[in-house]
Amino acid sequence: MPQTITEKILAAHAGRDTVVPGELINVRIDMALANDITAPIAIDLFEKSHVESVFDPERIALVPDHFVPNKDVQSAIQVQAMRTFARKYHIKYFFELGEMGIEHVLLPEQGLVLPGDVVIGADSHTCTYGALGAFATGVGSTDIAATMITGEVWFKVPESIKLIYDGQLREWVTGKDLILYTIGDIGVDGATYKAMEFTGDVIKALPVADRMTMANMAIEAGAKSGIIPPDEATLDYIRPRAKRPFECYTSDPDATYAEVRTYDVSNIEPQVAFPYLPENTRGISAVDTIPIDQAVIGSCTNGRIEDLRLAARILNGRTIDKNVRLIIVPATPTVYRQAMAEGLLEIFLAARGIVSPPTCGPCLGGFMGILGPGERAVSTTNRNFVGRMGHPSSEVYLANPAVAAASAVLGRIGGPDELD
């Protein structure tokens, strides 16, 4: 029976030859992830179960990244709970400050999520790892607690939507723009419960970093997962990093899809998602004069070295508008050091930006750049909900790193083409 990549991965992990969308299955998981917001609930439930050990201390990753470096006493207590738990149960992949980075950049970088894996994370952007050809999805803390006991999780096999991207990418158009455009097209619930499979010549030529940005935001269309069949580019990324064997799956040509959509990217310009939903997208040329107070470049969506290089291309030799605060967040210590080695940090600081340690802080209005009443930010992050980055009357406009950097210079939302 012809199957999609998603169905093949789930079947393999359920000990089956095939699975059918809608079926409920129990699958073995390769990695379970939780952060400093979601892990404490899972830890509490695990401890109350009186089970003496976790299913496999090498298949649990605990990443304190949201409110770390600890923003207050309460967040310090949450990280303490993770640290204590990690020591007690010999969790191999607990990332202490200095090694800690934004989870969805860190885990691929460290070779902990691989093609063909089933990964669950108590964080909705766990779907990022689909970019490497894994089935990866966000769940809640209770699911993580149960999986820490059993090593398994239940799923309803999702239907798949095939999204084909053809044509020639315009200048300054990135994976971020493709996914924003797609969410604008299908809506924030356009893929609810489904797997979004990104394919086409454009995807095949897309760098792995951009692929991760696309899969990362599958959740913003309501999807269970986003996935890109692995190819040479995937393997080039994976081979030096992989810490265990892995298997590559691809979809059969005659596999069944709930829906197939084709996009000619030649018509897509850099996108901006207006408040208060990621589906409120416009091409950059359709954006009026919108003054901004802050620009944020970072997050699990766009905090990779490639994103910082793109921002630096814009900011090199320029200074940002006097009314704008620019916050740049390298996603991991490795990204930070690489940016330093390449002179990017010097460019950011010379432009009058600041460089934060790795953290999710500003993206979710936690700390490190909270917006006040009525303030506006352009941000390379993934959500622009009411109050996402601070006060309920503040506004977040989502864009790619080139647009965010250009906007910081212009003092209003604008693209690189508008710079002198």
Partner 1 sequence: MFAAYALKTERISTCPPLPEMLAHKLNAVSGVGRRVFEFRIYPPLFDALRMIMKIEGTVWKFGDNIDTDVIIPAIYLVTTDMSELGKHCMEGVDATFAEKVGPGDIIVAGKNFGCGSSREHAPMAIKGAGISCVIAEGFARIFFRNAFNMGLAIFECPGVFQGIQEGDRVSVNQDTGEITDHTNGKRFLANPVPPFMQELIEAGGLMAYVLNKRQS
Per-residue mark of binding to partner 1, 389-418 (x: CB under 8 A)? ---x--------------------------
Among 143, 210, 306, 395, binds partner 1 (CB under 8 A): 143
Of 372 and 392, CB closest to partner 1: 392
Q: How far apart are CA 420 and CA 408, in angstroms?
A: 14
Residue 383 engages partner 1 in binding (rule: CB under 8 A): yes
| CB nearer partner 1, residue 77 or residue 419 | 77
Q: Candidates 239-247, 298-306, 315-323, 363-371 — which segment interacts with partner 1 by CB under 8 A?
A: 363-371
> What residue has token string 């620009």?
295
Asked if 188 is part of the footprint of partner 1 (rule: CB under 8 A), the reply reads yes
Candidates 16, 20, 92, 142: give the one binding partner 1 (CB under 8 A): 142
Question: Should residue 37 be labelled a site residue for partner 1 when binding is judged by CB under 8 A?
Answer: yes
Please report whether residue 388 would count as binding partner 1 according to CB under 8 A: yes
Query: Does the protein bind partner 1 through residue 45 (CB under 8 A)?
Result: yes
CB of 171 to partner 1, least distance (A): 32
Cβ neighbours for 80, distance < 8 A, ≥ 6 positions apart:
none
Contact indicator for 339, 356 with CB cutoff of 8 Å? no
Residue 365 makes contact with partner 1 by CB under 8 A: yes
Question: Does residue 55 interact with partner 1 by CB under 8 A?
Answer: no
| CA pair distance 214, 220, nearest whole angstrom | 10
> Does 13 participate in binding partner 1 (rule CB under 8 A)?
no
Q: Which is nearer to partner 1, 59 or 66 (CB)?
A: 66
Please state the φ and ψ torsions of residue 12, each to the nearest 5 degrees: -60, -35
Count, residues near partner 1 per rule CB under 8 A: 51
Q: Is residue 192 close enough to count as binding partner 1 by CB under 8 A?
A: yes
* 259-264 and 31-35 strand pairing: unpaired
Residue span 88-107 as binding mask against partner 1, x where in contact by CB under 8 A, dash where not? --------------------
Task: Tell which residue, 10, 18, 7, 106, has the closest CA to residue 61.
Answer: 106
Can you tell me which of 3, 6, 78, 128 binds partner 1, judged by CB under 8 A? 78
What part of residues 273-292 is at the interface with partner 1 (CB under 8 A)? 277
Pairing of strands 160-166, 195-199: parallel
Q: Which is nearer to partner 1, 70 or 110 (CB)?
A: 70
Closest to 216 (Cα-Cα) out of 174, 170, 167: 174
Contact call for residue 59 and partner 1 (CB under 8 A): no
CB-wise, 141 or 234, nearer to partner 1?
Answer: 141
Residue type, 382: N
Q: How far is CA 119 from CA 26, 153, 307, in A?
A: 13, 10, 25
| 73 vs 240 by CB, closer to partner 1 | 73
Q: Is 20 in the site for partner 1 (CB under 8 A)?
A: no
Question: Of the ranges 177-185, 226-234, 281-289, 385-393, which one interacts with partner 1 (CB under 8 A)?
Answer: 385-393
Q: For residue 44, state whether it binds partner 1 (rule: CB under 8 A).
A: yes
CA distances from 288 to 282, 284, 323, 414 (A): 10, 9, 18, 9
Span near partner 1 by CB under 8 A; candidates 91-99, 109-117, 216-224, 399-407: 216-224
CB of 343 to partner 1, least distance (A): 34
CB 175 within 8 A of CB 209: yes
Q: Footprint of partner 1 on this chain (CB under 8 A)?
A: 24, 37-38, 40-41, 44-45, 48-49, 51, 66-67, 72, 74-75, 77-78, 121-124, 126, 138-143, 145-146, 149-150, 154, 156, 188-189, 192-193, 219, 222, 224, 277, 364-366, 383, 385-388, 392
